[in-house]
Amino acid sequence: MNTESVVLRVVLAIALIVALAHLLGQLARRLGQPAVIGQVFAGIALGPSLLGRLPGHLTGTLFPQQILPYLTVVAQLALILFLFSVGYELERGVLRRRPHAVPFVAVAGFVTPMLLGAGSTVLLAKWYAGTGTTHAPHSAFVLFVAVALSITAVPVLAAIISERNLGGTVAGVVALTAAGTIDALGWLALAGALLEVNAGVHRPWPLTVALLLGYLAVLLLLVRPALRYWLRRPGTVRSAPPVAAAFAMASAWVTGSLGLHVIFGAFLAGLLMPRLSGGEPDREVLATMDKAGRVLLPVFFVVAGLSTDIGALHASDLALFGVVCVLATAGKLGAGLLAARAGGLSWADSSVVGVLLNTRGLTELVALDVGLRAGLITGRLYTVFVLMALVTTAATGPLLTLVSRRTAKVPAEPPGLDVGTAGLLETL
What pLDDT, on a 0 to 100 scale, did the predictor assign at position 411?
47
Question: Pick from 322, 423, 396: which is nearest to 164 by CA?
Answer: 396
Question: Pick from 358, 339, 344: which is nearest to 400 by CA?
Answer: 358
Q: Binning pLDDT at 50, 70 and 90, where does residue 318 land?
A: very high
How many Å apart are CA 14 and CA 295, to the nearest integer?
9
Would the pLDDT of 424 be above 50?
A: no
Q: What CATH architecture does domain 78-297+314-427 belong to?
A: Up-down Bundle (1.20)
Q: Residue 74: what residue type?
A: V
What pLDDT, on a 0 to 100 scale, did the predictor assign at position 348?
87
pLDDT digits (tens, 9 = 90+) for 355-410: 999 998 788 888 898 899 888 999 999 999 999 999 999 898 889 888 866 544 44
Would the pLDDT of 412 be above 60?
A: no
Secondary structure in 3-state letters for 383-420: HHHHHHHHHHHHHHHHHHHHHHCCCCCCECCCCCCCCC
Note the pTM of the prediction, 2 decimals: 0.80
Question: Pick from 189, 100, 155, 157: which is nearest to 332 by CA?
Answer: 157
pLDDT digits (tens, 9 = 90+) for 19-72: 998 999 899 888 888 888 888 888 888 888 888 888 877 888 888 888 989 999
Question: Pick from 148, 255, 198: which is nearest to 375 by CA?
Answer: 198
Q: What is the mean pLDDT of the chain?
A: 83
Q: Binning pLDDT at 50, 70 and 90, where does residue 416 land?
A: very low
C-alpha distance from residue 238 to each of 123, 233, 248, 266, 292 (Å): 56, 11, 17, 21, 17
What pLDDT, on a 0 to 100 scale, did the predictor assign at position 217?
94
374 DSSP assignment = T
What pLDDT, on a 0 to 100 scale, did the predictor assign at position 203?
64
pLDDT digits (tens, 9 = 90+) for 286-312: 888 877 877 888 888 888 888 888 988
pLDDT digits (tens, 9 = 90+) for 153-192: 877 887 788 777 776 678 888 888 888 888 878 888 888 8
Would the pLDDT of 133 be above 60?
A: yes
Rounded mean pLDDT, 209-230: 89
Would the pLDDT of 92 be above 80?
A: no
Non-local (6+) Cβ contacts of 412 within 8 A are 98, 168, 169, 170, 172, 173, 174
Question: Between 275 and 121, whose confidence is greater?
Answer: 121
Where are the chain's structural domains? Answer: 78-297+314-427
How many Å apart are CA 90 and CA 155, to the nearest integer?
10
C-alpha distance from residue 290 to each of 158, 241, 356, 423, 427 (Å): 15, 11, 23, 6, 9
What pLDDT, on a 0 to 100 scale, did the predictor assign at position 201?
54
What pLDDT, on a 0 to 100 scale, did the predictor assign at position 287?
83
pLDDT digits (tens, 9 = 90+) for 253-273: 998 888 777 888 888 898 889
% of the chain beyond a pLDDT of 90: 32
Q: Binning pLDDT at 50, 70 and 90, where does residue 423 land?
A: very low
Question: Helix %, strand %, coil % for the chain, to 5?
Answer: 75, 0, 25
> Please, which contacts does 132-139 make with residues 24 or more away whose CB atoms are closer than 8 Å?
132/378, 132/379, 132/380, 132/381, 133/378, 134/375, 134/376, 134/377, 134/378, 135/375, 136/197, 136/374, 136/375, 136/376, 137/196, 137/197, 137/199, 139/196
How many Å apart are CA 153 and CA 230, to the nearest integer?
32
Question: Which range is most confident: 30-34, 221-225, 341-345, 359-363?
Answer: 221-225
What pLDDT, on a 0 to 100 scale, did the predictor assign at position 387?
93
Would the pLDDT of 419 be above 70?
A: no
Would the pLDDT of 147 be above 60?
A: yes
